[in-house]
């Protein structure tokens, strides 16, 4: 798996998959931003643009048996895991055909078949759930690993600290992958994280840690790969901290006054994972500009189709209000 | 006197209480916002923009932004209250009680009793609640019943700007822990509100409408839903008394009893689920204490027993509306 | 068939379900005990010695001792359930919901619904409750109403060894999150219990006594308090039906309704506080659905609205006893 | 303050206070152990014997404006803070004259006048409350500090991690003082604490940390003194980890099968803070054996009196059931 049918053996296919994935996310989010501004999106959304290399570099390593726990900033990670673009869009539009049948919405994208585990409402709560997925996959002995995405804000939630310790005590195959985008809502990490060092919190329970530029796909790919391989080999949990830029607000509608003037422009200029990726693959002659342009065009069409499908799709049937509370009868 | 929104009324109460008493401090996430960033300091003024402007007036020593650490900052608010301050802590969504439940229901609620009455705990927890914004199962709950169930807490559910301002002043001056539940859909509601400071005593219900056929008790935003029903029913010749208890602890049972005594019929409209919430609570109290006055079944109008769905059409079906209240009232008066 | 304690019956259900299904695992604090120490491995066998012996039979891969980290291990249990295991997580005292509330009421309860029905969540949370051991305000609560109020959970309150064993087997095999509430004062209660495995369906109340004058619904340990009252009242010529709902979600309203239909009088005996608990819940349901059958006020026998005091004389005053139940019943039959 | 009327200026008076305090605790707990075994104690108790140097070394530095947050293992810390022995005993006996009027019991010893803050039921919860005391004392500008006792088990509670961070973010005058007695209930720290390093968790938020032999009064006194002085001077929070022996079970009645055979005997032989203290002061000629024996005898009589007072005292009046729920009318 790993999304969009990547054949993991071929180097350039893998590169193409990575580019396609990141570009799909970017295109999806930019388009969503525009549609939101135009009043076309009927729900609250947190955009992932800028952070694409993180989920993509991780998902490149994940197979069918692996779990990927994501956060409220869900669209990009869901795309990277290979969830259906139309189903994602429909969930954002709160339609019956959405990933969660319109009951969850943008922050709760979840696809059980893909072992893509959606965010629950509490920041950081997923860290504990991830320990449970890890218990299960180890119990089955299927060689699975679990990657749990978390934001910088989550490092200050108690359950995350507890989960670090529990994962280490039980030596679980889980990687806590932090996307440090500098902000939890309107508050900067320099204020909220004493010591301003996410990885150090992991090191305190004896976990291996790594820090990586999350705008560099290749760096993320290498670092996440190492942590995932360690977990898969029975080496227990570890922590990866990725410094990522966030190109939009905390949620759409956020005036972002807490950011310095020009901050986003500068990030877009100097820390765009797609720009870096293109430079690298073109420079090394791995892919051609024409290939990339072809991919871009195809993606634009796909996103277009996903959005128009979603906009036109039917809402959930009234009966859905009462279904899915329990698996059994009650 | 001027027209103020529910949001502005709350902000004004905070500001006036902070001016009045230097021991009033605010604690919560992004109350100002902007800490640790390169931009503006009072960048958000609260997740719902309720505390906007207070940073500039009172500074970071009294407007304390926190990390995303509800258990720690709620506990700190409890500790600060026990140590003599009057903290107002903001729990962004009441759903987040999930991560600070111990501090509220085990510590704040039981501090005084467990220690044999040695301490006062003048803590106010401001929180928001309610569905209607497509925020789904974990950002839409109404948990008034949960708070009410724990002896030691006082619980306030203002339905109007006027009440919000006066009740918040009372809450802040109160020497016990108070959970002040703001309904997010009411933030833009506007009405005449005095500019000066005033208080509204706890445990005094507001009679919103008077009528002799049916008593309706409704809470928070449901007061407005019920009021809509009451007005429409009047055109049908059915006259209801609509009571807004305003606080569930203490609960003004006198006002409810007086009305039920007269009407013999009771409907409770609540946005929480049907099990073990305020609708059940009030129904049980009346069925126990005022049985002989009842001429018909006590009816509860609540959402069904399901989590809150995100899709707008489902959410609309989920929420009680005037039509449902009217149907229930009509049925009752036929008995 | 043999005489077994409530504790032993629960242990037997755990063991039999673990033998039956390799995906059943236990998670909790000191379920075995002895990890990280220099002494015996199964040193405690659970804080209440319920899980004693299971470590030896199933090993540390299936009996998972945890650090004092309820949020993490409860979340792990939720995650493991969603991922296909059947975890039984032990929350030592239900009061500790304070530190893992999110995992239970926001995550376990809403997982299936929020994600549109994609998952099953076969999680059982075993917890203990109740006053009577001088443990004070934070180790004596009964929070059945809190659990019941959250749609998505099932809630079990066994009052006897036989019921405990059969209901726990049902809970573990159930595909939804179940909160299984054990009353600590019942652990030594003994009665005949089958040796083999059996299940008791959820939502089927047990009629403990039958009588035509008054219906009493009692939960958990209060079933025994009420039974004592019922026996004593019989000598006075007052005949009561005593119903133990056994599960509050689902709640067997049929059995309650049938009885109230016949008696016209309802008393509910519950160990939780009077506000927004099961007593209110059942009273409200009956006042709504069976009003015309009622011949007298619905009476709730609960502790007063205060935290649980530690002193034994106060704790005794706090708890409902047979005398109080009798007084209430006598008063009702005079109406 | 600092308990039992210590005149803080005089060196030998301070020593005498320390000895008297530790010996009072020891005598109280040993006697309680015996009475419990004899069925005379009407409530559940967690004994502090072995850990005396910890609370005593800390309280030696605390004045009237300072807060001392304690845990369920409460008797020793309450005694060290100077709470009335008879009121402590009466609370354990759940009498009207108890510190909490019989409503709290042994784990909840609390004396608001002494700024002795009793444990709430949740392990670790006090860490957050301590941040609140620190906020208040700083707000008043009275130069107060807060010491928060915590057990090794508490290090794995999320709220403790959150409180570390919050205290550091707000630079609060609080010292998190961990009594590592090797066990949380029946589970050893070697299992439960990943990395087996409590102090490292504090270091991860950038707090100064210190590790000290908690059976050595002088070491605790010096180390705690440094942390408290730092907090008092505006230097923010810090963490002190004390290795302490626990001479009895988790609670009375605990068969302690999780401990190695002879473990307690060996601890009593090699890590008894009172033995070490006596050796040191006698060796250095600071106090005489006769003086110590005189103190011991006096303490034995005091404890005796406290216990018999408690046993004979009246229970709370029935009206107490309904009082103290609210400060105001309701
Ligand atoms: C327990 C809890 N507290 C607060 C919130 C409100 N909230 C939603 S997102 C967010 C910020 C999260 O920041 P971070 O973890 O850095 O993720 P990011 O949004 O930057 O991706 C907050 C505080 C919440 N959902 N849950
Ligand atoms: C949140 C919570 N979980 C579990 C318990 C049960 N419990 C009481 S004491 C204790 C062990 C605490 O160990 P530690 O912090 O090392 O303190 P010690 O008893 O060794 O002094 C536990 C788990 C509790 N009171 N609160
Ligand atoms: Mg962030
Ligand atoms: Mg310990």
Asked whether residue C229 falls in the same domain as residue C122, the answer is no
Contact state of C309 with D320 under an 8 Å Cβ cutoff? yes
| Contacts with B, D 96-115, CB within 8 Å | 98-104, 108, 110-113, 115
Taking the Cβ of residue A122 and every Cβ of chain D, the question of whether any pair is shorter than 8 Å is answered with: no
Residue B55 lies in a domain: yes
Residue B187 lies in a domain: yes
- Give residue A60 CA to ligand 3 midpoint distance, Å: 23
- Give residue A123 CA to ligand 3 midpoint distance, Å: 10
Q: Check pLDDT > 50 for residue A5.
A: no
**pLDDT for D61-116, tens place per residue?**
999 999 999 999 999 999 999 999 999 999 999 999 999 999 999 999 999 999 99
Q: Check pLDDT > 60 for residue B243.
A: yes
Contact state of B36 with A190 under an 8 Å Cβ cutoff? yes
- Give residue B95 CA to ligand 1 midpoint distance, Å: 13
Asked whether residue C131 falls in the same domain as residue C220, the answer is no
- Give the distance from residue D189's alpha carbon to the nearest chain A alpha carbon, in angstroms: 11
Asked whether residue C163 falls in the same domain as residue C281, the answer is no
A107 touches A115 (CB < 8 A): no
Asked whether residue B143 falls in the same domain as residue B220, the answer is no
The residues lining ligand 2, judged by C-beta closer than 6 Å to any ligand atom, are: C 29, 68, 70, 92, 96, 99; D 46, 71-73, 121-123, 151-154, 181, 183-185, 250
Q: What is the pLDDT at residue A121?
A: 83
Average pLDDT over chain B reads: 98
Please give the number of the atom of ligand 2 that sits closest to the Cα of B102: 1
3-state helix, strand, coil in chain C (%, to 5): 40, 20, 40
Q: Check pLDDT > 60 for residue A239.
A: yes
Pull the structure tokens for residue A270: 């100097």
Host H or E run for residue C20: helix C6-20
User: DSSP code of D260?
Assistant: P
Q: What is the pLDDT at residue C335?
A: 77
B29: chain A residues, CB-CB within 8 Å: 184-185, 187
Q: What is the pLDDT at residue D205?
A: 98
Asked whether residue C181 falls in the same domain as residue C301, the answer is no
Contact state of B175 with D328 under an 8 Å Cβ cutoff? yes
Query: What is the signed CA dihedral for A3, A4, A7, A10, rounded to 10 degrees?
Result: -100
User: Who's near C91: CB < 8 A, 6+ residues apart?
Assistant: C28, C70, C74, C97, C100, C125, C126, C127, C128
Asked whether residue C101 falls in the same domain as residue C226, the answer is no
User: Who's near D297: CB < 8 A, 6+ residues apart?
Assistant: none
Asked whether residue B244 falls in the same domain as residue B162, the answer is no
Average pLDDT over chain C reads: 98
Please give the number of the atom of ligand 2 that sits closest to the Cα of D157: 1
* D25 three-state secondary structure: helix
CB atoms within 10 A of CB D257: 18
- For residue D206, the chain A residue with the least C-alpha distance is A195
D102 touches C309 (CB < 8 A): yes
Exposed, middle or buried: residue C292 (CB in 10 Å: 0-12, 13-18, 19+)? exposed
| CATH code, domain carrying B183 | 3.40.50.970
Contact state of D191 with A169 under an 8 Å Cβ cutoff? yes
Strands C240-244, C206-209: pairing is antiparallel
| CATH code, domain carrying C307 | 3.40.50.920
- Give residue A53 CA to ligand 3 midpoint distance, Å: 15
Q: Residue D329 to residues B329, C115, D324, D325: CA-CA distances in angstroms?
A: 36, 46, 10, 10
**pLDDT for B55-114, tens place per residue?**
999 999 999 999 999 999 999 999 999 999 999 999 999 999 999 999 999 999 999 999
Which of D168, D326, D328 would best serve as a mutation to test chain B binding (most B beta carbons within 10 A)? D326
CA torsion through residues D270, D275, D280, D282, sign: negative
Q: What is the pLDDT at residue A329?
A: 81
Percent over 90 (pLDDT), chain D: 95
Q: What is the pLDDT at residue A7?
A: 45
Supply the ipTM of this predicted assembly.
0.98
Residue B183 lies in a domain: yes
E strands, D159-253, are 174-180, 183-184, 187-188, 209-213, 238-243
Which of D131, D161, D171 would best serve as a mutation to test chain A binding (most A beta carbons within 10 A)? D161
Among all bound ligands, the one having the nearest atom to the CA of B71 is: 1
Residues C100-125: what's their mean pLDDT?
98
Which of D157, D187, D194 would best serve as a mutation to test chain A binding (most A beta carbons within 10 A)? D194
Q: What is the pLDDT at residue D4?
A: 44
**Domains, chain D, with CATH or none:** 3-254+263-275+286-310 (3.40.50.970)
- Our count of domains for chain C comes to 2
Residue B201 lies in a domain: no
A100 touches A319 (CB < 8 A): no
Residue B100 lies in a domain: yes
B99: chain C residues, CB-CB within 8 Å: 71, 101-102
Nearest alpha carbon to residue A58 among A192, A229, A194, A200: A229
- Give residue D169 CA to ligand 1 midpoint distance, Å: 18
Angle at C159 between CA C158 and CA C163, to 5 degrees: 55
Name the domain boundary from B152, B171, B193. B193
**pLDDT for C260-272, tens place per residue?**
999 999 999 999 9
Q: Residue B56 to residues B15, B42, B51, B63: CA-CA distances in angstroms?
A: 11, 7, 10, 9
**Dist CA A252 CA D1 (whole Å):** 56
Question: What are the residue numbers of the active site of C?
Answer: 139
Contact state of C110 with A120 under an 8 Å Cβ cutoff? yes
Chain CA centroid to CA A11, Å: 23
Chain CA centroid to CA C218, Å: 12
Contact state of B38 with A321 under an 8 Å Cβ cutoff? no
Taking the Cβ of residue A135 and every Cβ of chain C, the question of whether any pair is shorter than 8 Å is answered with: yes
Q: What is the pLDDT at residue A12?
A: 85
D157: chain A residues, CB-CB within 8 Å: 158, 162
**pLDDT for D283-311, tens place per residue?**
999 999 999 999 999 999 999 999 999 99
**Dist CA A317 CA A300 (whole Å):** 31
CA torsion through residues D29, D114, B117, B199, sign: negative
A100: chain C residues, CB-CB within 8 Å: 114-116, 118
User: DSSP code of D111?
Assistant: B
Ligand 1 pocket check for B92: Cβ under 6 Å: yes
Contact state of B275 with C146 under an 8 Å Cβ cutoff? no
Q: Check pLDDT > 90 for residue B157.
A: yes
Residues C107-133: what's their mean pLDDT?
98
Name the domain boundary from B137, B164, B193. B193
- Give residue A93 CA to ligand 3 midpoint distance, Å: 24
User: Who's near D169: CB < 8 A, 6+ residues apart?
Assistant: A191, A192, A194, B66, B67
Report the residue from A158, A191, A197 with minimal CB separation from D162: A158
Residues B221-250: what's their mean pLDDT?
98
User: Who's near C293: CB < 8 A, 6+ residues apart?
Assistant: C257, C260, C261, C264
Mutate to test the pocket of ligand 1, among A148, A185, A243 (most ligand atoms within 8 A of CB): A185
Q: Where in the sequence is the domain holding C281, given as residue range(s)?
A: 206-334
Strand arrangement of the beta sheet that strand B206-209 belongs to:
B206-209, B240-244, B214-218, B266-269, B299-301
**pLDDT for D4-60, tens place per residue?**
444 444 788 999 999 999 999 999 999 999 999 999 999 999 999 999 999 999 999
User: Which chains contact D through at least 3 pairs of Cβ atoms less than 8 Å apart?
Assistant: A, B, C
Asked whether residue B129 falls in the same domain as residue B14, the answer is yes
Exposed, middle or buried: residue B239 (CB in 10 Å: 0-12, 13-18, 19+)? middle
- Give residue B50 CA to ligand 3 midpoint distance, Å: 23
Q: What is the pLDDT at residue A2?
A: 39
Host H or E run for residue D147: strand D146-151
Pick the catalytic residue: B139, B183, B224, B231? B139
**Dist CA B88 CA B82 (whole Å):** 13
Contact state of A168 with D200 under an 8 Å Cβ cutoff? no
A189 touches A196 (CB < 8 A): yes
C82: chain A residues, CB-CB within 8 Å: 112, 117, 129, 132-133
A330: chain C residues, CB-CB within 8 Å: 154, 176, 203, 249-250
Report the residue from C81, C106, C112 with minimal CB separation from A121: C106
Taking the Cβ of residue C71 and every Cβ of chain B, the question of whether any pair is shorter than 8 Å is answered with: yes
**Dist CA B77 CA D135 (whole Å):** 9
User: Who's near B122: CB < 8 A, 6+ residues apart?
Assistant: B81, B85, B86, B172, B173, B174, B175, B176, B177
Q: What is the pLDDT at residue A6?
A: 46
- For residue D98, the chain B residue with the least C-alpha distance is B116
Residue B198 lies in a domain: no
Residue C155 lies in a domain: yes
Q: Check pLDDT > 90 for residue A11.
A: no
Q: Residue A146 to residues A69, B210, D173, D287: CA-CA distances in angstroms?
A: 8, 60, 40, 62
Residues A133-160: what's their mean pLDDT?
98
Taking the Cβ of residue B116 and every Cβ of chain C, the question of whether any pair is shorter than 8 Å is answered with: no
Asked whether residue B164 falls in the same domain as residue B227, the answer is no
Size of interface A-D (CB pairs under 8 A): 69
Taking the Cβ of residue A311 and every Cβ of chain D, the question of whether any pair is shorter than 8 Å is answered with: no
B21 touches B62 (CB < 8 A): no
Name the domain boundary from B193, B216, B241. B193
Taking the Cβ of residue D137 and every Cβ of chain B, the question of whether any pair is shorter than 8 Å is answered with: yes
Q: How many CA atoms lie within 13 A of A251 on its CB side?
A: 12
Q: Residue D297 to residues A217, C77, D239, D292: CA-CA distances in angstroms?
A: 74, 54, 36, 9
**pLDDT for D182-212, tens place per residue?**
999 999 999 999 999 999 999 999 999 999 9
Q: What is the pLDDT at residue D329?
A: 81
Angle at D33 between CA D29 and CA D39, to 5 degrees: 140
Nearest alpha carbon to residue D84 among D66, D50, D110: D110
Q: How many CA atoms lie within 13 A of D192 on its CB side?
A: 33
Ligand 1 pocket check for A249: Cβ under 6 Å: no
Ligand 1 pocket check for A183: Cβ under 6 Å: yes
- Give residue D72 CA to ligand 2 midpoint distance, Å: 8
Interface of C with D (CB under 8 A): 29-30, 33-40, 43-44, 47, 65-69, 71-72, 93, 95-96, 98-99, 133-139, 304-307, 309-314, 317-318
Q: Check pLDDT > 70 for residue A4.
A: no
Pull the structure tokens for residue B87: 């903290």
Asked whether residue B319 falls in the same domain as residue B183, the answer is no
Among all bound ligands, the one having the nearest atom to the CA of D124 is: 2
Asked whether residue C50 falls in the same domain as residue C9, the answer is yes
Q: Check pLDDT > 50 for residue D233.
A: yes
**Dist CA D217 CA D80 (whole Å):** 13
User: Who's near B232: CB < 8 A, 6+ residues apart?
Assistant: B322, B326
Asked whether residue C186 falls in the same domain as residue C210, the answer is no
**Dist CA B123 CA B103 (whole Å):** 12
Q: What is the pLDDT at residue D11?
A: 83
């Amino acid at each position: 798996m790993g999304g969009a049918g990547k054949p993991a053996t071929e180097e350039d296919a893998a590169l193409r998959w990575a580019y396609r994935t990141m570009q799909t996310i970017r295109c999806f989010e930019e388009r969503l931003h525009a549609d939101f501004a135009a009043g076309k999106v009927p729900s609250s959304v947190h955009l992932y643009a800028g952070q694409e290399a993180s989920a993509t570099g991780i998902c490149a390593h994940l197979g069918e048996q692996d779990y990927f726990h994501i956060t409220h900033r869900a669209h990009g990670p869901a795309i990277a895991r290979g969830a259906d673009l139309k189903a994602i869009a429909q969930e954002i539009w709160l339609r019956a055909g959405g990933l969660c049948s319109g009951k969850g919405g943008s922050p709760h994208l979840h696809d059980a078949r893909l072992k893509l585990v959606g965010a629950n409402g509490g920041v950081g709560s997923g860290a504990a759930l991830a320990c449970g997925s890890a218990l299960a996959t180890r119990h089955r002995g299927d060689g699975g690993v679990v990657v749990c995405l978390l934001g910088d804000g989550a490092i200050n939630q108690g359950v995350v600290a507890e989960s670090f310790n529990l994962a280490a005590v039980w030596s679980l195959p889980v990687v806590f992958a932090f996307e440090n985008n500098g902000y939890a809502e309107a508050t900067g990490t320099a204020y909220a994280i004493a010591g301003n060092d996410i990885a150090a919190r992991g090191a305190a329970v004896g976990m291996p840690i790594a820090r990586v530029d999350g705008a560099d796909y290749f760096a993320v790919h290498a670092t996440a790969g190492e942590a995932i391989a360690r977990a898969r080999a029975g080496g227990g949990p570890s922590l990866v901290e990725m410094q990522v830029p966030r190109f939009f607000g905390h949620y759409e509608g956020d005036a972002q006054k807490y950011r310095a003037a020009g901050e986003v422009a500068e990030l877009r200029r100097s820390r765009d994972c797609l720009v870096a990726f293109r430079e690298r693959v073109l420079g090394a002659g791995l892919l051609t500009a024409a290939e990339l342009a072809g991919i871009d065009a195809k993606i634009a069409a796909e996103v277009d189709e996903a959005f128009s499908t979603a906009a036109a799709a039917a809402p959930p049937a009234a009966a859905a209000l009462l279904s899915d509370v329990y698996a059994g009868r009650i | 006197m001027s027209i103020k929104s529910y949001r502005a009324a709350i902000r004004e109460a905070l500001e006036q209480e902070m001016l009045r008493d230097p021991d009033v401090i605010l604690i919560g996430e992004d109350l100002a916002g902007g800490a640790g960033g390169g931009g503006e300091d009072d960048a958000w003024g609260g997740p719902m923009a309720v505390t906007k402007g207070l940073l500039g007036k009172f500074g970071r020593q009294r407007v304390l932004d926190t990390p995303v650490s509800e258990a720690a900052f709620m506990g700190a608010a409890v500790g600060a209250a026990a140590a003599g301050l009057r903290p107002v802590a903001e729990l962004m969504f009441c759903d987040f009680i999930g991560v600070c439940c111990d501090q509220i229901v085990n510590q704040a609620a039981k501090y005084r009793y467990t220690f044999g009455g040695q301490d006062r705990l003048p803590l106010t927890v401001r929180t928001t609640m309610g569905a209607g914004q497509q925020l789904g199962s974990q950002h839409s709950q109404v948990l008034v019943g949960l708070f009410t169930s724990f002896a030691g807490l006082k619980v306030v559910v203002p339905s109007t700007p006027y009440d919000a301002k006066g009740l918040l002043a009372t809450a802040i001056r109160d020497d016990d822990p108070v959970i002040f539940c703001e309904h997010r859909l009411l933030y833009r509601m506007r009405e005449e509100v005095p500019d000066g400071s005033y208080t509204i005593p706890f445990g005094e219900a507001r009679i919103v409408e008077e009528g002799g056929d049916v008593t309706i008790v409704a809470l928070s935003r449901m007061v407005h839903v019920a009021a809509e029903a009451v007005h429409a029913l009047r055109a049908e010749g059915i006259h209801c008394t609509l009571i807004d208890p305003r606080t569930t602890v203490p609960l003004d049972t006198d006002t409810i009893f007086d009305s039920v005594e007269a009407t013999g019929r009771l409907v409770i409209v609540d946005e929480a689920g049907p099990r073990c919430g305020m609708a059940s609570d009030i129904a049980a109290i009346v069925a126990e204490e005022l049985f002989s006055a009842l001429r018909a079944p006590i009816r509860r109008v609540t959402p069904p027993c399901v989590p809150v769905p995100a899709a707008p059409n489902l959410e609309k079906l989920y929420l009680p509306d005037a039509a449902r209240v009217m149907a229930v009232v009509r049925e009752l008066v036929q008995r």
